[in-house]
Amino acid sequence: MVDVFTIAFAVFILFAVAKWNRPVRPITAFFLALLTGAWIWANLRTSGWQEVLNEGTPEGLDPVTKAMFWRGWPLAPVMLCLIHGNRLRPIGLEGLALVFDWLVLLLVLSLARFVWDRCSHRRAADPRPVKYWNV
């Protein structure tokens, strides 16, 4: 269920960035969708932290953070836990890792749309005719 929530929120951010200010070109939308897909894959894959630390998920976490505890990019909730006596101790900021991940997605998509629109806008605004063949 948390995986569906993560995917739905990523798609919501994608549509928010695509519809913000003015409609987006189809090629830009495709590029943004590829970036969103890569972000979803990076967040939902198993990172391997659980095997390295050989530890279980701590108690007292909310259901979303508990399900995403070992996963996440660029910051997993496990990275915000204190290690005390070779045990993971939650400090209450683990849920902020997921918010940070969503903000990273929003920033990356916004920046990518800005750059892509600027590059394609210059090319479309060039008044010189495009020659594809030397005739």
* Per-residue model confidence as pLDDT tens digits over 92-123: 888 899 999 999 999 999 999 998 888 876 55
pLDDT of the residue at 99: 92
CA distances from 54 to 44, 74, 83, 88, 108 (A): 20, 21, 13, 11, 33
Q: Tell me the domain boundaries of the chain.
A: 2-51+61-117
pLDDT, tens digit, for every residue of 60-89?
888 888 889 999 889 988 888 877 766 788
Q: Is the pTM of this model over 0.75?
A: yes
pLDDT of the residue at 26: 85
Residue 25 has pLDDT above 70, yes or no: yes
Residue 124 has pLDDT above 60, yes or no: no
